[in-house]
Structure 1
């Protein structure tokens, strides 16, 4: 009797993969042929909507992700990225279908229902401008309060200071919030109640009265009261901002919304620098070019306006001597002045400056040294290794001070 070949249930531990921090596991729109169980690390699942990165969840050890696309045999509806070094167990399409087929029929029906439900939710994920509703509502309240006319305010008074009669109608405020955020009145009322309990806003009920006409005496008798309007005020706007900002951070969950790209001004604010300094660092080659992007449509329109020849040659703006701030700026100094200043420093200090300088500034330094000194400086730069930051800063300041003194700017 011929023996049938033995079949083996697929082992979920057969295949594993590892991903380093920041590595994309899969992208939205790709084919779905694998799901994953996390053994170690964590994974962020997100979608991109225009310039918004909407985090759908953070998956941790023991959780599965990517399975819905495999089950429904549709393209990925979201992207997944390793948030740290991560190891996963791979479940391919055949394995996952085999496991589902072995489940009881009611489980298969429930799974199909869940797939349809999640597909519908994914289609609606971008309806709201931001998932951090609490923070967004607080920002709208701040803007509305700042823009509220205060004719009785004293000159120079702090916006929102106590003693001002200004108040916001919660009806009008709620209408504005709903138009912007597409949230319900129940959600708005819950946030307003929370802010009132924190004593960062004050809500005053304006009551109206109901009256009944006495048919015999012809008099009106008060029968009850009702809340006709609710007025909101912010006693201390600065405290409101601080409290709500901290509360938003403390209550942050796995679902969040943030910009995928930020502009130059926002990046400068992030690193607490001036935009002009960031531009200099880009032009000096101190920052990786892979960090910067152009909006294709707007930059193409601009290129058409200025013409192709505009981009063939870059002209450095003339930097004034008093504006010299770093060794990179010496490219704007005339050769005679720079050569004399370098001769007063000695080859060691020049070597430190050359190690700090970008390609263009270093080339300028070497061009103003004799061949013999230039060779010595080049050799010394190779031996320096890591330069003490304080010492390097002092030498840089000394060079710039020398140049400014020679130009008659220091006394």
Structure 2
């Protein structure tokens, strides 16, 4: 579409804008005041439905994004995000409409029809529970088959199966039909039409005659469920990297964060407390947060107290950041500067600061130099130092078993 735009109009009415990877060209719900013609890079189009990111495709050089909102003068129906460094020409509403006015009348009518069609389809986008629609349809089909087929009747109603797929997966009939067309080509299923006909009565003779024929239903046959699932799983792998209509979570909770990082929620809580995780990653559900504030009262948030130390809290070197200064000073004096240096070299930033604050300036300088000279500390030595230090702290606190 960009190649058909008059270049003089480009220079007068459009400007070049750049977007870094991850930057939004526009967000769903914003006013549709401009469209973009991509000159360099790629842009992902998506919607967020019930905290799920529903991908609608990608656009590349020479393609336009955001034009439908400008044509219809309506709010953005989707979001556009730069997948890489992107350069795009900004086309205001006047330029886009001028382009349409220069087009033949049939093209103008077709554009209007397409804008209405896109609007209708956008309203039908749902938050599907799976990013791989093909594999999800196959799995539900296999379960439906196993639950429905009994005795000698080795077939199921395609209409009933489709209703089940819509209810479970929240997908459209178009998507269902597309999957089964692929399955038919692979010869994993067969679909047979059951035709019917309207009857009409002859006004002269009174006899009933067949009228217009129609497809009443289709029956699906699945010869081998195990073979069906095995082949379908292999084919489904082809769809994993397909960005069209992919679904992902826009936000997830602490447990998902822990699984992604291959850590435990307890470790993440500590890292949050030590400010090792940037605050821009934190989001709170507004209504639930307000309810929690009301339940706890405003005074609850005036100050934060560190939980009382228990033996279970001391598991690793980094946990000494939660130990009081007097206890640490006593433990370090019994440990010796070499072992303190090993602890300094092996622990995290918060614990390092805690160690150095509880040493005299002279000893701190010696310990820091010793830790720097040892490079990567020996794992066995670190384990021994960790155990001895934690045991000493527990003994001082009266927590040792």
Shift of 1:140: 4.3
Residue number among 177, 192, 205 corresponding to 2:165 in the alignment: 177
Q: Using the alignment, how far apart are the partners of 1:279 and 1:170 within structure 2? A: 51
Of stretches 296-305 and 334-343 in structure 1, the one that deviates more from structure 2 is: 334-343
Of stretches 36-45 and 235-244 in structure 1, the one that deviates more from structure 2 is: 235-244
Aligned to 1:343: 336
Unaligned runs of 5+ in 1: 1-7, 149-164, 204-226
Structure 1 residues 221-236: aligned runs within 5 Å? 235=226
Aligned to 2:258: 268
**2:281 maps to 1:291:** yes
Q: Quick check: 1:322–1:404 contact (8 Å CA) kept in 2?
A: no
Aligned to 2:309: 318
Of stretches 60-69 and 105-114 in structure 1, the one that deviates more from structure 2 is: 105-114
Shift of 1:75: 1.9
Q: Quick check: 1:47–1:78 contact (8 Å CA) kept in 2?
A: yes
Aligned to 1:221: none
Q: Quick check: 1:44–1:81 contact (8 Å CA) kept in 2?
A: yes
Q: Quick check: 2:23–2:81 contact (8 Å CA) kept in 1?
A: yes
Q: Using the alignment, how far apart are the partners of 1:104 and 1:241 within structure 2? A: 46
Of stretches 261-270 and 313-322 in structure 1, the one that deviates more from structure 2 is: 313-322
Q: Quick check: 1:35–1:70 contact (8 Å CA) kept in 2?
A: yes
Structure 1 residues 239 and 300: alpha-carbon distance in aligned structure 2, compared to 1, 3 A threshold: farther
Q: Using the alignment, how far apart are the partners of 1:369 and 1:102 within structure 2? A: 79
Shift of 1:244: 7.0
Residue number among 380, 389, 392 corresponding to 1:403 in the alignment: 389
Aligned to 2:322: 331
Q: Using the alignment, how far apart are the partners of 1:282 and 1:238 within structure 2? A: 44
What's the secondary structure of 1:335's corresponding residue?
A: helix
Structure 1 residues 10 and 350: alpha-carbon distance in aligned structure 2, compared to 1, 3 A threshold: same
Aligned to 1:34: 34
Give the structure-1-normalised TM-score: 0.69
Give the structure-2-normalised TM-score: 0.70
Residue number among 284, 307, 312 corresponding to 2:297 in the alignment: 307
Aligned to 2:377: 391
Structure 1 residues 194 and 97: alpha-carbon distance in aligned structure 2, compared to 1, 3 A threshold: closer
Structure 1 residues 296 and 64: alpha-carbon distance in aligned structure 2, compared to 1, 3 A threshold: same
Shift of 1:341: 5.7
Q: Using the alignment, how far apart are the partners of 2:70 and 2:172 within structure 1? A: 35
**2:35 maps to 1:47:** no
Aligned to 1:68: 68
Aligned to 2:111: 111
1:52-83 deviation line (CA, Å, top 9, x unaligned): 11111111111111111222222222111111
Of stretches 319-328 and 234-243 in structure 1, the one that deviates more from structure 2 is: 234-243
Q: Using the alignment, how far apart are the partners of 1:299 and 1:142 within structure 2? A: 42
Q: Quick check: 2:48–2:54 contact (8 Å CA) kept in 1?
A: yes
Shift of 1:195: 7.2
Structure 1 residues 205-244: aligned runs within 5 Å? 235=226, 243=234
**2:355 maps to 1:365:** yes
Q: Using the alignment, how far apart are the partners of 1:68 and 1:190 within structure 2? A: 26
Shift of 1:135: 3.5
What's the secondary structure of 2:29's corresponding residue?
A: coil
Shift of 1:340: 2.9
The count of corresponding residues between Structure 1 and Structure 2 is: 354
Shift of 1:99: 2.2
Q: Quick check: 2:71–2:97 contact (8 Å CA) kept in 1?
A: yes
1:242-285 deviation line (CA, Å, top 9, x unaligned): 647635415x3422111111111122112222222222221221
Q: Using the alignment, how far apart are the partners of 1:299 and 1:70 within structure 2? A: 37
Shift of 1:310: 2.9
Q: Quick check: 1:353–1:392 contact (8 Å CA) kept in 2?
A: no
Q: Using the alignment, how far apart are the partners of 1:28 and 1:59 within structure 2? A: 17
